[in-house]
Structure 1
Amino acid sequence: MVLNSGKEWVLHLLARINETQRMMVMMVLWRAWHVHNELTHDKPAPPIEASKRFLCSYVDTLLMIKQFPEADACKGKQVISYSGRRATHKAKDQEPKTMKQWSRPQRGRLKLNVDGSYMQGTGQAGAGMVLRDDRGEVIFTACRSLQNCASALEAELASCHEGLKLALVWSAEPIDLEMDCATAVTMLLSNENNHSSLVHLIRDIKAGLGERDVAIKKIDRSQNVAGHIMAKRGREARLTQFWFRNFPDVLTDVVRKDCNSVAT
């Protein structure tokens, strides 16, 4: 609540809040000035929802760059802190990290791997989906170029939505759905009401999860190589393609390696 309504109310407000909150206030004022200029020049004002998504994506990216300067901004999967304090991690060099490998699903189940790819600078995004059986054989692979995608998280959820829809159409068995975005998995498993701009996408995915026995799980990125390659293909080549009982040549080595993994 703004307690001071004088000429310097903005300065009083900024003095009372932390650095992260100060940045958010300035971003909102900057966007308001942009909308004001659009109206001044007889242009239609951007929809409120579009401004909200733009600001949320921009703020998330700025915080991630500040808190994780060596992270991959295209994936945007680090958990950022909104408290104004730098997010910290426990030391990882105490013991060597073991690269986990994709594993076949249990007998009678299918495994759906999905991944999203998003480039902040250009707004280009893609989704990748791979469905395999308990022998590691491919049922389908697909990639999709995502239009009007505002964030890495939206790309992840879009890949989950598209992959699940395809899996429900092209198969009849129970499905293990795997993705390497912890935030997306948490949202989909939560029973709390979601009030973000992605609420409709989340609702559609949850509806699909209820149509069959679908178990959703967060995995390491090293276990999702096939999904990652397909998502990157959709983004970089701006392609939307589907292969039934087949896959593009770029996946040949990955599928062969995964197929030889031990079933769990």
Structure 2
Amino acid sequence: MRKEWDIPDEQEFWYTGSDWLQVLLDKHDLDMRVKILLLLWRSWFLRDDCVHHEGKESVSRSVCFLVRYEEEIRNLSMIDETKGKSSWSLFVSGATKPRDLPSAESSPLWDKPLIGEVKLNTDAAFLSETGQCWAGAVARDHQGRVLFSACRLMNACRTVEEAEGQAILLGIAALSAMYRGSLIIETDCALIVKELEEGSQNRSACFSTICDIRSTATFFNSVSAKAVKRNKNKLAHELAVRGRREGDSLIIADVPIGLRPLMLSESTM
């Protein structure tokens, strides 16, 4: 990793007490903090791959992944907001500002996955007049615990189906960096689910997106997709709406503060 990034000396990573990470991060600027957190995040993924899976993930592949990922974060942070795009912000749990809370009064109907599975919910906000679309994605385990949540302005799409496919692609790409087990994808777009079925001959306008989804899905032990009603996909929908309203975000192990009541109401069912 040091061949690609200028990162702190090895001694700075030594455990010196319960606040060693805070001390380490406090010594460096924001760019270095991002690199340190990404490095620790990926290291934990490699450890988890060895303990719970086959342990075949290579260090060199992780280096390439981190370099590309950090470049994407940096490049997106430089996008001019006057063009309608916001920065792709990397947050840790609790780093976002509270906003108006979505209503969670109606009975949440999100279904938890089985033990050993992770469920990825995705949705897109699409403007047919301009082709603009914003994707929302959230991954949770059998206890409703969040692995990550994300919202992002995507490339312009021609159809709502293409936008929904882009949302799935955003979700599985982010999830593949931290999890490789059994995955269930839920979306409220039945057409995309049909196109993803094994043996389906895709002739739609979102053919390239479907191919990218299928390619990325090979990182997981197993993948299934199913269409659900909007009331089973609320959190992903609210993330897409938030992306349009407030800009891009990627949060590890949490959701934006304003969406926590909805997330908690679903996970406690």
TM-score bracket, shorter-length normalisation:
0.5 to 0.7
Equivalence for 1:218: 227
In our comparison, the structure showing a higher alpha carbon Rg is 1
Q: Confirm whether residue 255 of structure 1 aligns to residue 268 of structure 2.
A: no
Equivalence for 2:249: 241
Equivalence for 1:102: 110
Alpha-carbon offset, residue 190 of structure 1 = 4.9
Asked if the contact 2:194/2:200 (under 8 Å) is kept, the reply is no
Amino acid at match of 1:185: V
Equivalence for 1:179: 187
Equivalence for 1:22: none
**Using the alignment, how far apart are the partners of 1:118 and 1:174 within structure 2?**
29
Alpha-carbon displacement from aligned partner over 1:36-60 (angstroms, at most 9, x marks no partner): xxxxxxxxxxxxxxxxxxxxxxxxx
Match of 1:168 among 163, 176, 192: 176
* TM, length-normalised to structure 2: 0.57
Amino acid at match of 2:111: S
Alpha-carbon offset, residue 162 of structure 1 = 1.0
Alpha-carbon offset, residue 197 of structure 1 = 2.7
Q: Confirm whether residue 136 of structure 1 aligns to residue 144 of structure 2.
A: yes
Alpha-carbon displacement from aligned partner over 1:181-218 (angstroms, at most 9, x marks no partner): 10111111152332233211111111222332111111
Alpha-carbon offset, residue 104 of structure 1 = 1.0
Asked if the contact 1:100/1:220 (under 8 Å) is kept, the reply is no
Alpha-carbon offset, residue 244 of structure 1 = 0.3
Equivalence for 2:58: none
Match of 1:230 among 236, 239, 242: 239
- RMSD, matched Cα: 1.8
Q: Secondary structure, in 3 states, of the residue corresponding to 2:176?
A: helix
Q: Secondary structure, in 3 states, of the residue corresponding to 2:177?
A: helix
Q: Secondary structure, in 3 states, of the residue corresponding to 1:103?
A: coil
After superposing the two structures, state which structure 1 stretch, 194-203 or 155-164, moved more.
194-203
Asked if the contact 2:108/2:265 (under 8 Å) is kept, the reply is no
Asked if the contact 1:179/1:219 (under 8 Å) is kept, the reply is yes
The structure-2 alpha-carbon separation of the partners of 1:216 and 1:125, relative to structure 1 and needing over 3 Å to count, comes to same
**Using the alignment, how far apart are the partners of 1:236 and 1:123 within structure 2?**
16
Asked if the contact 1:124/1:235 (under 8 Å) is kept, the reply is no
Asked if the contact 1:178/1:217 (under 8 Å) is kept, the reply is yes
Equivalence for 1:208: 216
Equivalence for 2:88: none
Asked if the contact 1:146/1:235 (under 8 Å) is kept, the reply is no
Amino acid at match of 2:203: H
Asked if the contact 1:118/1:235 (under 8 Å) is kept, the reply is no
**Using the alignment, how far apart are the partners of 2:207 and 2:132 within structure 1?**
21
Q: Secondary structure, in 3 states, of the residue corresponding to 1:251?
A: helix
Matches within 5 A, 1:5-154: 101-154=109-162
Q: Secondary structure, in 3 states, of the residue corresponding to 1:170?
A: coil
Alpha-carbon offset, residue 99 of structure 1 = 7.1
Amino acid at match of 1:157: G
**Using the alignment, how far apart are the partners of 1:231 and 1:185 within structure 2?**
19
Q: Secondary structure, in 3 states, of the residue corresponding to 1:113?
A: strand
* TM, length-normalised to structure 1: 0.58
Identity of aligned residues (%): 29
**Using the alignment, how far apart are the partners of 2:165 and 2:241 within structure 1?**
15
**Using the alignment, how far apart are the partners of 1:236 and 1:194 within structure 2?**
33
**Using the alignment, how far apart are the partners of 2:187 and 2:240 within structure 1?**
12
Alpha-carbon offset, residue 126 of structure 1 = 0.4
Mind listing any 5+ residue stretches in structure 1 that lack a counterpart? 1-97
Amino acid at match of 1:134: H
Alpha-carbon displacement from aligned partner over 1:16-48 (angstroms, at most 9, x marks no partner): xxxxxxxxxxxxxxxxxxxxxxxxxxxxxxxxx
